[in-house]
Amino acid sequence: MNLAAFTDPNNLLAVFVAVVTFATLVTLAVPLMRRNNLEARLKSVSSRREELRRKSREAISASKSGGSLRQTDESLYKKVVERLQLSRLLEDPQVVDKLAQAGFRGPRPVSTFYFFRFVLPFVFAAAVAFYLFLINDFGLSPMNRVAACVAGLTLGFYAPNIYISNVAQKRRESIVGAFPDALDLLLICVESGMSIEAAIQKVSQEIGGASIELAEEMTLLLAELSYLPERRQAYEGLARRTNHPGIKSVSTAMIQAERYGTPLGSALRVMAKENRDLRLAAAEKKAAQLPAKLTVPMIVFFLPVLFLVILGPAVLRVMDMMGPGGS
List, for residues 99-119, the tens digit of each pLDDT value.
Answer: 888 888 877 888 888 888 888
CB atoms within 10 A of CB 169: 13
What three-state secondary structure class fits 7?
helix
Residue 39 or 181, more confident: 181
pLDDT at 325: 56
Q: Do 242 and 236 form a contact (C-beta atoms < 8 A)?
A: no
pLDDT at 68: 41
Residue 298: pLDDT over 80: yes
Strand (E) or helix (H) holding 326: none
Eight-state DSSP code of residue 8? -
Mean pLDDT score, 227-243 = 86
pLDDT at 53: 59
Mean pLDDT score, 61-74 = 47
**Angle at CA of residue 27, ends 19 and 120, nearest 5°:** 60
Q: Of the given ranges (45-54, 149-158, 172-181), which has the lowest mean pLDDT?
A: 45-54
CB atoms within 10 A of CB 189: 20
Residue 77: pLDDT over 50: yes
pLDDT at 94: 79
pTM of the model: 0.66
End-to-end CA distance of the chain: 56
pLDDT at 173: 86
CB atoms within 10 A of CB 241: 24
Residue 197: pLDDT over 60: yes
In angstroms, the CA 284 to CA 286 distance is 5
Q: What sign does the CA torsion over 109, 115, 121, 125 have?
A: negative
What percentage of the chain has pLDDT greater than the value 70? Answer: 77
In angstroms, the CA 205 to CA 55 distance is 26
Mean pLDDT score, 182-208 = 86
